[in-house]
A and B are shown apart, each in its own frame.
Chain A
Amino acid sequence: MTATNNARVTDGANSRLGWLPPRRSRPSVLVSGIVAGLVVVHVLAWQETEFSPGALVQGWRGMADFLSEALPPDLRWKVLGPSIDAALVTLYIGLLGTTLSVPFALVLAFLASKATTSSTVVYQAARSILSFLRSVPDVVFALIFVTAVGLGPFAGVLALIFHNTGVMGKLWAEAMEETDLGPRDALRINGASGLQVATNAVFPTVLPQFVGLLLYRFDVNVRSSLVLGLVGAGGIGFLINQSIKLFRFDQMVTHILVVLVLVVAVDQLSAVVRRRIGA
């Protein structure tokens, strides 16, 4: 008896048409294998990361001591004023790191997108450069640039330019590859060159996505520049690091509150702009 006939017998009784397509009775071997593999990987991850809720419960006293020293935050102006100044530096690092990476990301994105590049060699080379820039964390770039230009925000800006070029270039290249082939074909058949097609069909189509991704990366980079401060690249991350080293946890909480305000403001601003442009 075929599967369809089976369905006719089992599901047909209550069906107006008398039969239904057979339902899948059990997961395929492939799905079962994937689920089993995921379980194994998670068990390994649990062991290797020494994940232990019990240790967290046992150590509650340490956290309580820490919080008692951290709260209430030290909101005196002599702490808050420098904190706000440093937060602005963090904002500037994120801003410059984002905007100065735009020309490099744009060029590499055009070279690394099948929508705008016909040469496989150029495509693979551009993809490789983007992969390299993306795979080196911005903190590592910051440590490298600190050795070249010394401690301070400049190293942070350089680190973000390099890392963000890799991330944004890839996101933009993929946005271009997802554009409709039709407008490109329409220009290609009237004799337009690849570059003309890129600038007249692809770029105007993806512009809202480009701006949306740029704002998203600005948002991420402002938060990243905070971490870069912890390794000596200036900004409020540097102040947080100093507070921890001096055991002034109340001042650390003040800095974190300022960071919170900064991150929420940047997030809201970019959300408003993204909504306005429909990205």
Chain B
Amino acid sequence: MTSELSIRDLHKSFDGRPVLSGVDLDVHAGEFVALLGANGSGKSTALRCVVGLQTADSGTITLGGQDINGPHQRAAMVFQQIHLVRRRSALDNVCAGALGRLPLIRSFTPAVFPREVREEAMECLDRVGLADRAAEPAGRLSGGQQQRVAIARALCQRARVVLADEPVSALDPSAADQVVALLADLAHEGLAVAAVLHQPELARKYAKRIVGLLDGKVAMNASPMDLTESDVDALYAPERATA
């Protein structure tokens, strides 16, 4: 089975301080991988290298079997801070997912987006359960709804890999559950999904595989059923786990 996303021996340092020290990670189509690990363990940096927001010092990143080095249509990212244009409608924000495949003349403002893009964006909004809120400014939606709009934007990008960097850290438990369930559904539909989570219970409930990072290295690669409290302690409080 080939990986939709494959990361090999990824290294990255900031000011001489290593953040990634040889990370290997595979995410297959139809798989939802939860990334766990303490702040600074390298989870977000690894994802940011995949979408080109950071440049790795060394290592390879492959999407659909093709080596990449920078932003690529096949990989979309969902952020903790959501990053929608708050004054624009939910629909306009979702349409923006298609910018990479549109010429400027058809995309410099939502008024000139092609009809088929707007229809596709509506379908994406419908997929995340927000078709009835399409015309509302994104800033007026709740945090959970905004995060679902951001996921719809990733769908409108036609990405095959959806990366989520702490997508539910700013949400209440109910909204967090909805968003992670939605990511898991997308994986069931065939996308490769990797999400940084700080909620082991959500990872156990929805993920197909759990990858733990510690000090820039993959320290755990397990099925959710095998994740124990001591595993979680080993990732988040290693000094306590070894005491």
Contacts and interface: CB of A to CB of B under 8 A. Distances in A.
Tell whether A pairs with B: yes
A195 B71 contact: no
Given A191-B99, A204-B87, A182 B71 contact: no
B194 interface: no
Nearest to B82: A182
B79 interface: yes
A106 interface: no
6 contacts: A180-B83, A186-B77, A186-B83, A196-B104, A200-B85, A204-B85
B207 interface: no
A201 B93 CA distance: 9
Contact of B85 (A183, A189, A190): A183
Contacts of B157: 190
B108 A186 contact: no
Contacts of A208: 87
A200 B96 contact: yes
Contacts of A47: none
Interface in A178-206: 180, 182-183, 185-193, 195-196, 199-201, 204-205
Contacts of B96: 186-187, 190, 192, 200-201
Contact of A186 (B72, B73, B79, B86): B79
Interface of A: 180, 182-183, 185-193, 195-196, 199-201, 204-205, 207-208
A183 B102 CA distance: 18
B107 interface: yes
Interface string B86-119: 1110000000110111101001111000000000
A200 B107 contact: yes
B135 interface: no
A201 B52 contact: no
B72 A191 contact: yes
A99 B87 CA distance: 24
A185 B53 contact: yes
Nearest to A193: B104
A200 B102 CA distance: 13
B12 interface: no
B99 A195 contact: no
Contact of B73 (A183, A190, A207): A190
A195 B84 CA distance: 18
A186 B104 contact: no
B154 to A, nearest CB: 8
A204 B87 CA distance: 7
B99 A192 contact: yes
Interface of B: 51-53, 71-73, 75-77, 79, 81-88, 96-97, 99-102, 104, 107-110, 150, 153, 157, 159
B109 A199 contact: yes
Contact of A207 (B82, B87, B108): B87
Contacts of A192: 96, 99-100
B107 A189 contact: no
Contact of B104 (A183, A187, A191, A195): A195
A211 to B, nearest CB: 12
A192 B153 CA distance: 13
Contact of B88 (A180, A182, A195, A204): A204
Contacts of B97: 190
A182 B73 contact: no
Nearest to A182: B83
Given A185-B53, A189-B51, A191-B99, A196 B107 contact: yes
| Residue of A188, A205, A207 with most partner-chain B CB within 10 A | A188
A169 to B, nearest CB: 20
Nearest to B107: A196
| Residue of A180, A182, A207 with most partner-chain B CB within 10 A | A182
Contacts of A191: 71-73, 99-101
A182 B87 contact: no
B108 A199 contact: yes
B85 A201 contact: yes
Contact of B153 (A180, A185, A186, A196): A186
Given A189-B52, A199-B108, 14 more contacts: A186-B77, A186-B96, A186-B153, A187-B99, A188-B71, A190-B73, A190-B96, A190-B153, A193-B104, A195-B108, A199-B109, A200-B107, A201-B85, A207-B87
